[in-house]
Amino acid sequence: MKRVLVIGGYGGFGAKIVRLAAREGFHVIVAGRNLAKAAAFCADADKSRFEPLALDRETLTAADIAETGAWAVVDAAGPWQGYDYRLPRA
């Protein structure tokens, strides 16, 4: 099963992406700065499809992304205005 990392996955926009990805058959890593919020989001879901992860995009590195085994990465954390290209380059 392919893994998708969704940064900001427990927020309003991210949660919609997470649910859609799970319905499409992906294992979704629900990531954000607050592990408790990510875990609470995942608690009501099929545990075989969701995985909580504490992760901050401000300090995220390419090695951090590689360690998740993600096939794709979605940044839904926002706000995006004025945000640099460090994460896409990772």
State pLDDT tens for residues 1-50.
Answer: 899 999 999 999 999 999 999 999 999 999 999 999 999 999 977 777 99
Q: Centre a 10 Å sphere on the Cβ of residue 45 and count the other Cβ atoms it contains.
A: 15
CA distance 27 to 69: 11
Angle at 71 between CA 54 and CA 45, to 5 degrees: 55
Could you tell me the residue ranges of all domains in the chain? 3-89
Contact between 7 and 57 under an 8 Å Cβ cutoff? The reply is yes
The confidence score (pLDDT) of residue 68 equals: 96
CATH code of the region 3-89: 3.40.50.720
Residue 14: both structure tokens together:
């991210």
Give pTM, 2 decimals. Answer: 0.87
HEC per residue, 69-86:
CCCEEEECCCCCCCCCCH
